[in-house]
Amino acid sequence: MEIGYYPGCALHGSSNDYERSVRACLEVLGVRLRELDDWICCGATAAHSLNHKLAVALPARNLAIAERDGMLEMLAPCPMCSMELIKAGELVSRDAGLRREISDIVELPVSGSTRVINLIQIFQQVGLEKIRQLAVHRLDQFKPACYYGCLLTRPPEALRFDDCEQPRSMETLLEALGAQPVDWNYRTECCGAGMTMANEATVLDLSNKILANAAAHGANAIVVACPMCHVNLDMKQADIERKYGVRHEMVVYYLSDLVGLALGLEEKKLGVNRHFVTKT
């Protein structure tokens, strides 16, 4: 399988461990990623609050490149990126006037025909049966709290691959590999997302509640599919300890990390060793 690939700013920057994990895992599953040529920032997280046309044009430029290069589908592992790309695609596909205007702005024709998918959806396309067949290790030791955050399944009118309030797609995949996901309360709550720099106090408060709830329900790890969620729940644990006097020591994995471990990949190959909180 070959699919278009939009890494976005985070996966080529601060969250390049996520890209390492995604690429290593999908390689074993026979998925070839064709990175978008000369991609640009999708506009997250500020463009929509500054200029509506800019917020559409930035992701639309990437969609136009994908269409030009014949990409019928494109993987965007960052939920913010995938959401912005999907929304822009739907806007230009529905409004002929906007479509012409945005095409002029980005200097390429764009119709919104490329389908944008996230990490969970690419695993769904590969199929549970194939992933199970290729797995060499069971994940029996993991009792993860699957954390979707506020963007992975929302807005529901644009992201329709799972229930926006009670998603189960990550649990279904990990259960097939032997893990025992816990039932908990914070799977779709916000961690503070991009407020990490602007309002750290809010991020620490929200992330502390998420980590505490996961532990209270018996989780020994949290699983995410978002670079911002990983930063807030992994890197911020030291700051949470200093502020609240609580030591969570909760390991935070990307979904591709656990799938990769089941497929026999080493933690270093997946970039797990670069996380701030690791197994003792």
Task: List all residues 6 or more positions away from 267 whose beta carbon is below 8 Å from its beta carbon.
Answer: 257, 261, 273
The pLDDT value given to residue 76: 98
Q: Where are the domains of the chain?
A: 2-117, 136-274
Task: Give pLDDT, residue 161.
Answer: 87
Do 2-117 and 136-274 fold alike per CATH?
no
- β-pairing, 144-146 vs 115-117, is unpaired
- Look at residue 94 in the predicted model and tell me its pLDDT: 96
Q: In whole angstroms, how far apart are CA 264 and each of 2, 18, 120, 121, 130?
A: 22, 17, 19, 21, 15
64 token code pair: 């136009």
Which of 125, 123, 120 is closest to 79 using CA atoms? Answer: 120
136-274: what fold?
Rossmann fold (3.40.50)
Give the position of tokens 């309360």: 185
In a structure prediction context, what are the per-residue pLDDT tens digits for the chain, which is 280 residues long? 999 999 999 999 889 999 999 999 999 999 999 999 999 999 986 766 678 899 999 999 999 999 999 999 999 999 999 999 999 999 999 999 999 999 999 999 999 999 999 999 999 999 999 999 999 999 999 999 999 999 899 888 877 889 999 999 999 999 999 999 999 999 999 999 878 777 999 999 999 999 999 999 999 999 999 999 999 999 999 999 999 999 999 999 999 999 999 999 999 999 999 999 998 5
Q: Is this model's pTM higher than 0.85 or not?
A: yes
| pLDDT given for residue 280 in this prediction | 56
Beta bridge partners of 73: 115
CATH number (3.30.9.10, 1.20.1050.140, 1.10.760.10, 3.30.450.20) of 2-117 reads 1.20.1050.140
For residue 193, what pLDDT is reported?
Answer: 83
In degrees rounded to 5, what are phi and psi of residue 104?
-65, -40
Structure token digits, residue 84: 């912005």
Provide the pLDDT for residue 28: 98
